Structure 1
Amino acid sequence: MKAVYINGIGSVSIQDQDIFDFNFELISDLSDVNYAKHPSYKEMIPAAMIRRMAQGVKMGIYASQNALNEAEIEIPDAIITGTGMGCLQDSEKFLRAIIDNEEEFLTPTSFIQSTHNTVGSQIALRLGCKGYNFTYVNGANSFENALNDAKLQIENDEANSILVGGIDEISDYTLKLLKKIDVIKNENSSIDFKNPTSIGVPFGEGANFLAISSEKKSNSYAEICDVFVQNKIEISDLKQTVSTFLEANKIDLSQIDVLVVGRNADSNFNEYYTEMETLFEDKTQIYYKHLSAEFDTASAFGVLLAATILKKQEIPNELLWNNKSMSQANYVLCYNQYRGKDHSLVLLRNC
């Protein structure tokens, strides 16, 4: 089977655009809701189209194009996206119009643009890409399933270059519902990720894309070794699950140099991360959701950071969870779960 390499990345997040240069000023104090810092889209999208596009579509187009540019890919063989909730803003517009107009005289625009595959299709239309185009909607495993699909296609010689990413956006009414059921923190004070004392997460949005290929380049970020997803895992089974995953890739726990965990400041469900950190207590550990906030495809942001660490062979102090230093990184393991479900492992190797 062919190897799979990350040759380009692109992101729109709540941070500045140069965050992956590891030379940045962080938004260190997250609030309960954190909106993306939108770049200028007019260089990529005609002004008339920008006005009609949802935030998720604009973020996706910008992040995906940056990933393609860096990988020097004009048109990929496939576009695969993951999203937890899709284009929520247009979904809410359409539902509101149904109520306001008493189910009469409805325009289809918001409905057409509200589907979960809107971002992937808009990227394809813009690029003129007529290849495989698929969107995964699997909660917090949405991005990982998209990544696994892309990896398998390249390994089995079904495609040479693929654009893969995760996109989620914030919408007002859904925010209110998530706050009512305590998914989002109901506080505006500074959020402590190291010692959280309240339930719920700081919520965010973003688009994070990888341009992957079977071709290794001089500026490649990392090799994608394997991707694993499982909906439910008992804490007592976590160590065996990780060991089995690594054994399948012919490595053991001692060979992991950096552990990337998706801690999100929720005082519930931390025991999974604690168990993982115990398994790799003598390794460098980093966290990232104090930079991205939490949303269904936030783990894509973590994978981008992991790939950048392998390429640059450095870790900014702002990312460190423990005090273990890293001399060289050959293997990075990313672990994420959300509210005790949707567990994922992504193994990257230095190339």
Structure 2
Amino acid sequence: MRVDLFDFDLPPENIALRPARPRDSARMLLVEGAESGSLVDRHVHDLPGILRPGDVLVFNDTRVIPAQLEGRRGEAKIGATLHKRIDLRRWQAFVRNAKRLRPSDRIEFPAGVTALAEERLDDGSWVLFFEGEEPVEVLLERAGRMPLPPYIAGKRETDEADRSDYQTMFAEKDGAVAAPTASLHFTPELMARLEAAGVKRETLTLHVGAGTFLPVKADDTQDHRMHAEWGSIDAATADRLNAARAAGNRVIAVGTTSLRLLESATGEDNVIRPFEGDTAIFITPGYRFKAIDGLMTNFHLPKSTLFMLVSALMGLERMQAVYRHAISTGYRFYSYGDSSLLIRE
């Protein structure tokens, strides 16, 4: 499909620079029906009264690491955003001012953290080898910043509040360089109310990469290539999700990251299987969903792979109408913005 079909105009004032407080006070647009139906303006804290007993919400338990680094190679300023772990000491990184780098150059970051630029890859990113014996995660906590998306970082400085604001309550496993932002809206109080309402909870892990923010440069979706991200679903979780669906209950992914991993783990027989490894699944209109019945997600960028994904779920014309409503009624967009609940039935 032509990429320009997924374009729309978004006023700058609709872009959220800070999250709602409390988190579950964010607005939520309820969209039921992939072809037609009403659009209902609600709030995230209304979820216990919207979902059914037996519904299963699937969360991503990845934890965002401070993967944004500013350093120097000699007199040259070098910026690095880590986006995928290779091994214990090596990460792939998008590098700013990369023309000043050569293989074997040493980059000096704050707090005595150094890394060697080992090689430039075909996609333009670099392999960085972090020197020393301390775990890389420890080095990043000392020298790095939270990797806020460019549409936020370009408008204000990252600050201490972002260390908690840009982390979900489910964050347990280090490795993401972008938050699974749909889960940012949840609080312990909301989870207790959902449990009391009979709504179930499952978790999986997908370490979100910085590639999620990269623009689609191709003119046609078939020419775009996704960056791979590592994910894992264990056998017990897969079994419970399959049992829920067999019992007629709905599986609702909280965030596009959860959805993409669930679909990667599901065969053509609609059975979810254990999964561990990379996925580069790219979901566009025409895709047949096998694992999920709905999606809770924030509002996405024009011409982004994520807007293509929700258009595949609900239909392009339907999502164009949804976004027109969201923009005209003042919904806040992107990572710190408001939410939507998309139910296919």
Q: Where on the TM-score scale, by shorter chain, does this alignment land: which range?
A: under 0.3
TM-score for the superposition, normalised by structure 1: 0.27
Question: Which structure shows the bigger proportion of residues in strand conformation?
Answer: 2
TM-score for the superposition, normalised by structure 2: 0.28
Question: Which structure shows the bigger proportion of residues in helix conformation?
Answer: 1
